[in-house]
Amino acid sequence: MKSLITGASGYLGQRLAMKLAETGESVHAMIRNPKAVKTLEHPNIKIFYGDVLDDNSIKTAMEGCDTVFHVAALARVWARDADDFYNINVNGTANVIRASQELNISKFILTSSTGTIGPSLNLPNNEETPRWSSFNNDYEISKSMADKELLKHAANGFPGLIVMPSRIFGPGIASPSSGVNRIIIGFIKKGFAVIPKQSGVIGNYGFIDDIVNGHILARDKGAIGEKYILGGENRTLGELFEAIKNRVNKNGLILKIPVWPLSYYSMFSQFLADRFGIEPRITPDLVKRLGQNSAFDCSKAISQLGYHITPFEEAIEATVRFLTKAQD
């Protein structure tokens, strides 16, 4: 079997490419950054330089493949030009779908996000939970639009489906898309962390190896036109930080502060971003999300795909061990 992975130079895409290659499969890795080649060195991986906005490079990379894992996305909370989210995440997805149709791809897996479902209320969200709140940012809006694009084609016979990772963490290349990894690295370097006082807010934390395996299971067992949440255990923010502290530095410090300083700082950061193009460390949207529960239910993926969740404590330990070694 031969698969194309768009976004193969990213945190998730690189891990998926290596997993497939190590199991003997052939991989066409589509990347934009030549420096990423070193992270994809494997005899079963063939590198293609391209862009999801360039039809010719997409088709060249896809030629001879059976499956497409469309992982490429602008996965940030801010961009200098908000149109970039829609060009890359929406138009780019449409381009890859069109090429897949022309080349008769047998299975298309779109990597979306649980962010498209939104915050949870009294029960964990599942794939059918209707969104009850407004979108937090252009990333979530654009990914939701990309989902609709895929489902529109799937309804007309296109062999596509959607996987929806939650907050990803775990061993892998450095990436802005893993906030949990950045928290761990910060704690390793500084020995302390700052969190809001409302530390009982729940999030779903998915171990990257589980999510990679979930992509492969979706290819092998997933039903056309379906969505599958790929996550982990639901834990409070306080539990997350305590788990990190216990493995990095038991004498470390977790400072709990009111939300309002974070809110004011985020507005100042947003002002600098809008006025001078300086990427914000934290945005008002992110502060809003810190106060919203984001619990998710992976039962559908478990029952229909055979998805497995690594225990939270075990996953944190493996991540801390990897990132600690990487800092040496």
**pLDDT mean over 30-37:** 90
Residue 307 appears among annotated catalytic residues: no
Structure tokens at 178: 């893993």
Mean pLDDT across 174-200? 83
Secondary structure (3-state) at 258: coil
Q: Which range among 65-74, 249-258, 316-325 shows the weakest confidence by mean pLDDT?
A: 249-258
pLDDT (average), residues 36-60: 96
Q: Is the pLDDT of residue 142 over 80?
A: yes
294 token code pair: 């984001």
Per the residue annotation, which of 11, 49, 139, 307 is the catalytic one?
139
Judged by DSSP in three states, 229 sits in strand
* pLDDT on residue 197: 80
Average pLDDT score, the chain: 93
- Judged against a pLDDT cut of 90, whether residue 277 lies above it is answered with no
183-204 core/surface letters (b: 16 or more CB in 10 A; e: else): bbbebbeeeebebbeebebbbb
pLDDT of residue 315: 97
CA–CA gap between residue 189 and residue 33 (Å, rounded) = 28
Band (pLDDT 50/70/90 cuts) for residue 314 is: very high
Which two structure tokens, joined as six digits, stand for 55? 């039809």
Statement: residue 177 has pLDDT above 90: no
Question: What is the C-alpha separation between 227 and 84, in angstroms, rounded?
Answer: 25
Q: Which residue has the tokens 């989902």?
A: 147
Per CATH, which fold does 2-171+204-234+295-310 belong to?
Rossmann fold (3.40.50)
Q: Report the pLDDT value the prediction gives residue 293, as an integer from 0 to 100.
A: 95
| The pair of three-digit structure tokens given for residue 175, joined into one six-digit string | 């990436």
Q: What is the pLDDT of residues 109-127, one digit of tens each?
A: 999 999 999 999 999 999 9
Tell me which residue of 166, 77, 92 sits closest to 127, measured CA to CA.
Answer: 166
Q: Which residue has the higher pLDDT, 29 or 1?
A: 29
Structure tokens at 241: 């930080």
**Residue 151, pLDDT above cutoff 80:** yes
* Amino acid sitting at position 36: A
Among residues 306, 224, 216, 161, the alpha carbon closest in space to that of 24 is found at 216
CB–CB of 126/229 below 8 Å? yes
Name the one residue in this structure whose structure tokens are 């809001």.
196
5 pLDDT tier (thresholds 50, 70, 90): very high
Task: State the DSSP H helix or E strand holding residue 68, giving kind and residue range, or none if neither.
Answer: strand 67-70
β-bridge pairing 253-257 and 107-111: unpaired
163 Cβ neighbours under 8 A, 6+ residues apart:
109, 110, 111, 112, 211, 214, 215, 218, 222, 227, 228, 230
pLDDT of residue 30: 98
151-163 mean pLDDT: 98
pTM over 0.85: yes
Instruction: Quote the pLDDT of residue 259.
Output: 84
Burial class (CB in 10 A: 0-12, 13-18, 19+), 326: middle
Helices (H), the chain: 11-22, 55-62, 83-86, 92-102, 138-154, 179-190, 208-221, 237-248, 259-276, 284-290, 299-305, 312-327
Q: Is the per-residue pLDDT at 328 higher than 80? A: no
The number of CA neighbours under 13 Å toward the Cβ of 158 is 24
